[in-house]
Amino acid sequence: MKALVYTANEEMTYREEPAPSAADGDALISIDSVGICGSDMHAYLGHDERRVPPLILGHEAVGTVLEGAQPGQRVVLNPLITCGVCDHCHGGRQNLCAERDLIGMYRAGAFAEQIAIPERNLIPVPDGMPAEHAALTEPGATGLHAVLLAERIVSRPLSESNALVIGAGSVGLLTALLLRDKGVEQVVIADTNPLRRELVARYTDLQLLDPLETAPAEQSFDCVFDAVGGAPTRQQSIAAVRSGGVIVHIGLMDNQGSMDVRAMTLREITFVGTYTYTPVDLRATLAKLASGALGDLGWIEQRSLADGAAAFADLLAGRCPAPKIVLRTGS
């Protein structure tokens, strides 16, 4: 089969790879569409020691069952493979399973024509739903999980709150759209890429700003969602959140710098980390996307898997305005 393989730092190679075989309990999936995630970019840059080349990356995938209990069924993949028997798994917090694995990390991912994955990790795609929309399920579920965590903590209903989202990649943008769906009227997105801000403005009515030119108003937001996760954005989050507010840290850009814990204590700011999603989050997000609740998704850019190396290079250089590039295995 053909696959896009991470072969060295800043090197992706489209080449022939052995086709996977399904073990007991697995299904064999023909991949249709798969999104490029920020974590794939981290690996591409050599910033993730867990992803060692040569490796097939990719985990935001949708395809069709070739072998398994549901042949012919179009499915979204839940890329988190967990033990299913620990307290976290039994408690519905599979994302915290100590034995969790992720396709495209230690095992082959979905930047390929085929993948084998446990049957329990398959979610049926509603009839008629475009594959590129279904491929947003994984990043959207990451956003939904973050929004639900904030909803439990914030001191007033989300619909009576306002929010700042830092980063207009797909996770940040989908977080903002999910907040709007929850009734949050004032949602501001901060992003430094002018091409991306222009594209997002074309497809949404969200308020956008360039934090390099205009810093978000200090102590003005009930909730701040950091979808970048870098030292500067953590500082920006603390400056922007109101006393008694909530910072939800989604991104994993780096682990540098320090945080003003004194200010967070004196202003009673809640800082919460959020990691991926649960199976319920994935199903709920897929339903939201299929229903049209998150608006016009024309901001997706589609390219072929064969052109994946160029897509990674364009993302690195900031030449791509789209919050999400979806790679398709077909022509």
Residues 70-125 have pLDDT tens digits of 999 999 999 999 999 999 999 999 999 999 999 999 899 999 999 999 999 999 99
User: Same domain for 156 and 238?
Assistant: yes
Residue 182 belongs to what domain range?
140-273
What's the CATH number where 266 sits?
Answer: 3.40.50.720
What's the first-to-final CA gap in the chain, in angstroms? 15
* Residue 290 within a domain: no
- Angle between helix 137-153 and 279-291 (nearest 10): 110
Cβ pair 99, 55 in contact under 8 A: no
Question: What pLDDT score does 331 carry?
Answer: 56
User: Same domain for 102 and 205?
Assistant: no
What's the CATH number where 80 sits?
Answer: 3.90.180.10
Cβ pair 244, 267 in contact under 8 A: yes
User: Same domain for 29 and 77?
Assistant: yes
The pLDDT tens digits for 265-299 are 999 999 999 999 999 999 999 999 999 999 999 99
Residue 23 has pLDDT above 80, yes or no: yes
User: Same domain for 165 and 230?
Assistant: yes
Q: Mean pLDDT across the stretch 15-32?
A: 96
* Residue 86 within a domain: yes
User: Same domain for 230 and 113?
Assistant: no
The chain-wide mean pLDDT, for the chain, equals: 96
Per the structure, how many domains does the chain have?
2
232, 258, 273: which is the final residue of a domain?
Answer: 273
Say what percent of the chain tops pLDDT 90: 98
The pLDDT tens digits for 204-235 are 999 999 999 999 999 999 999 999 999 999 99
- pTM for the predicted model, two decimal places: 0.97
Q: How would residue 330 be classed by pLDDT, with cut points 50, 70 and 90?
A: confident
* Residue 208 within a domain: yes
Question: What pLDDT score does 24 carry?
Answer: 94
